[in-house]
Amino acid sequence: MQRQLNVLYHLLTQQTEDPEEQPPTAADTPLTIPGGRTYHRSDCLLVLGRADAESAAPARLAALRPCPLCDPPAPEG
């Protein structure tokens, strides 16, 4: 619970960038956590530093929701 509160505090207090200014790049491959229900940007605090975070195939992404915190782009296709 404390880890989740720390993550939320950090997200709420950091300066956000306008997504219109920096479009998603190909290097920002969506990541998933095994057994998770969402996919994330590579810089999302919920996957940052996790050894079990992995790139997901487009077919797998279609079955997942985007992370509400990092708001990754929708999967292509």
The pLDDT of residue 9 is 78
Q: Taking residues 43-65, what's their average pLDDT?
A: 89
Domains in the chain: boundaries: 1-9+27-77
Query: Is residue 65 over pLDDT 90?
Result: yes
Q: pTM above 0.75? A: no
pLDDT per position as a tens digit, 5-16:
888 777 777 765
Residues 40-43: contacts with CB within 8 Å, 24+ apart? Answer: 40/67, 40/70, 40/72, 41/67, 41/70, 41/71, 41/72, 43/70
